[in-house]
Amino acid sequence: MTGNLFILSAPSGAGKSTLTAKLLEEDKDIHLSVSYTTRAPRPGEVDGRDYHFVDTARFMGMLERGEFLESAEVHGNHYGTSQAWIRAQRLAGHDVLLEIDWQGAQQVRRIFTDTVGIFILPPSITELERRMRRRGQDSEEVVRRRLSVAADEMSHAAEFEYVIINNDFEEAHRDLMAVVRASRLVYSRQLERYPDVFKL
């Protein structure tokens, strides 16, 4: 049985990481893809758990060897997803979750056409700015740069099958769980999982 491939995208500060953590805590059947990045670790982040933190030379070497399913440059940093790991997890029957931006999602869909895309939206740009500043991890320059691209990122929500507005965290979490559960119940997945049930 092939596992589902979920793509979760959102503008920075929309609550994607918090929703992902809650989902993984409650649903042990989903395996999170840990991306490679040239970005420096933020306070509390652990190499191999949050990201594989690598220097630019190593990242570019992996890119040239075709090891990434998708890769992108975001806010001056490089991000990439291991293609071999994704394929192995899915073939083993595990559901996989990718936390990537819309650019990466486009690249993934060209290879895996059966992805389940989920886009997280903040209630407003004003609320998005408030959340970024409350986090207190980024400089003023970084906050302004992230806000300047947020509107463009949000304009790509239509490319995703599901859109969740994160106004209330608990409600957004319930919505995300509902999408995951429903995706496992589509006909093709059920046929693959329980072929004997469909025999006449």
Read off the pLDDT of residues 176-195 as tens digits, 9 standing for 90 and up. 999 999 999 999 999 998 99
Q: What is the pLDDT of residue 190?
A: 93
* Mean pLDDT on 51-60: 96
Decide if pLDDT at 74 tops 90: no
The whole-model pTM stands at 0.83
pLDDT at 75: 82
The residue ranges of every structural domain in the chain are 5-33+94-198
pLDDT at 184 (0 to 100)? 95
CA distance 62 to 77: 15
Q: What average pLDDT does the structure give for the chain?
A: 91
DSSP state of 197: G
Neighbours of 131 (CB within 10 A): 16
Is the predicted pLDDT of residue 133 greater than 80, yes or no? no
Q: Give the distance from CA 62 to its chain's centroid.
A: 20
Q: CATH says 5-33+94-198 is which class? A: alpha beta
CB of 35 within 8 A of CB of 81?
A: yes
Among the ranges given (19-28, 129-138, 142-151, 155-164), the one the predictor scored with the smallest mean pLDDT: 129-138
Q: What percent of the chain has pLDDT over 70?
A: 99
